[in-house]
Amino acid sequence: MLLIAETAVVEEAAAAATETAESAAEEVGRFTAYLQEHIPDLVSFGIKVLLAILFFCLGRIVIGWIRRLVKHSLSRSKADKGVEQFVDSLLKFGLYFLLIFSISTKFGVDTASVAALIASGGVALGLALQGSLSNFAGGVLILLLKPFEVGDYIVEDTNHNEGTVKEIQIFYTKLSTIDNKTIVIPNGILTNNSITNMTAQPERRLNIKIGITYEADLKKAKSVIEKLLYDDECVMKDKEIAVFVDELSDSAVVIGARGWVNNEEFWPTQWRLLEEIKLAFDEEKIEIAYPQISVHMSATHGLGGRS
């Protein structure tokens, strides 16, 4: 009996193994048939992928060539540096979009469906990217109206960001500060807020104010400042040079001094004149005022009579 049971188990195991082998062989046969049936499609898809990669690489080369050609043309026409950067950025974005769109059509993507998708998605994207669209419009306005150009030193009056304009891109403008930091400001902020362009004009006026004490010799102080202005080689002699009493404040007589210099010489000239005025006042014993309070005390004396 035991031998018969063992024989039955062995037969069942053999039958199961045979069934599994037949099932595996059947699956392999189906897979082989599927491959044989779809090999032309797979080869065609692989060729399309290779061609798409090749087309993308060639497209990158052509895009680079077009960008260099446009940049060279703008340089020859002496276009503003900001316009050159903006056009290059916009051209790069547009050409890469066309390249990817062209490649996608080679994979059987319906252009009408893509156009409808872009149109419907454009509305939603426009609502979601209102700030970015505002920055894009701001970049266009900056290039058209030219409130500043690359190389100008500007101050954004609302947030008090300031620096030299290095790049004007599609959405952002980059400033470089005097301590070599980079500030990236959205173009929408620059067009919606007031801006002070420090270098828009080739000349700039010095405005110096010095406070002296009420006891100091006012005429001598004005004469000293006026002489320093006329002796300074950077101060323009063909433009107005004025020294005047600007204010009678609580603690000082404020003397104002004005003169014109070239824009690039503004800060060095102002720093130099302030130092020279201080040294000259020390030499002439003219006291520079500082905030102070004078307290006057009076004593009341009673007169007593003799008895």
Q: What would the CATH number be for the domain defined by 35-128?
A: 1.10.287.1260
Q: What is the DSSP letter of 173?
A: E
pTM of the predicted model over 0.85: no
Q: Are 88 and 67 in contact (CB under 8 A)?
A: yes
* Contacts by residues 64-67 (CB-CB < 8 Å, ≥ 24 positions apart): 66/91, 66/95, 67/91, 67/92, 67/95
Q: What is each CA distance from 148 to 13, 133, 170, 195, 203, in whole angstroms?
A: 88, 21, 15, 9, 16
Report residue 108 as tokens: 């059987």
Q: Is the dihedral of CA 223, 225, 226, 231 positive or negative?
A: positive
Region 136-197: CATH code: 2.30.30.60
Q: For the chain, 307 residues long, give each residue's pLDDT as a single digit of tens.
A: 555 555 655 566 666 666 676 676 667 667 666 666 666 666 677 777 787 788 888 888 888 888 888 887 777 766 667 667 777 877 887 888 888 877 777 666 666 666 666 666 565 555 555 566 778 788 888 877 888 888 889 998 888 888 999 988 878 899 999 888 999 998 888 888 888 898 888 899 999 999 999 999 999 999 999 999 999 999 999 999 999 999 998 889 999 999 999 988 999 999 999 999 999 999 999 999 887 666 767 665 544 444 4
CATH class of the domain at 203-283: alpha beta
What are the sequence ranges of the domains in the chain?
A: 35-128, 136-197, 203-283
CA nearest to 254, candidates 285, 224, 221: 221
**C-alpha distances in Å from residue 264, one per residue of 153, 163, 200, 261, 285:** 11, 14, 11, 8, 33
The CA distances from residue 114 to 45, 96, 131, 276, 286, in Å, are 21, 16, 25, 71, 80
